[in-house]
Amino acid sequence: MQGTVARFDEDTHHGTVLLDDGSEVAFGADAFAASGLRLLRLGQRMTIDRDDQGEVISITFPGLT
């Protein structure tokens, strides 16, 4: 799934991604840590991966695996 960063807290590393369908999905510090990224900007395009329960497990730039 792809969307754009809607919120990101630099201190806690929690945030939300606004998906292309208009829904907002939260991600936690673990998903951010799995990305290997150091910072996110509002409006930045992201791909999210979810587990079987629907929890976001990682976020990456589109086209990266």
At 26, the pLDDT band (50, 70, 90 cuts) reads very high
DSSP states of 49-60 = EE-TTS-EEEEE
Whats the size of the chain, residue-wise? Answer: 65
Q: Tell me the average pLDDT across 34-45.
A: 90
What gap in Å lies between CA 63 and CA 56, rounded to an integer? 18
Report, as an integer, the average pLDDT of 2-12.
95
Q: How far apart are CA 62 and CA 44, in angstroms?
A: 10
Residue 64 predicted with pLDDT over 70 = no
Choose among 49, 53, 58: nearest CA to 28: 58
Domain spanning 2-60 has what CATH number?
2.40.50.140
Q: Domain spans of the chain?
A: 2-60
**What pTM was estimated for this model as a whole?**
0.84
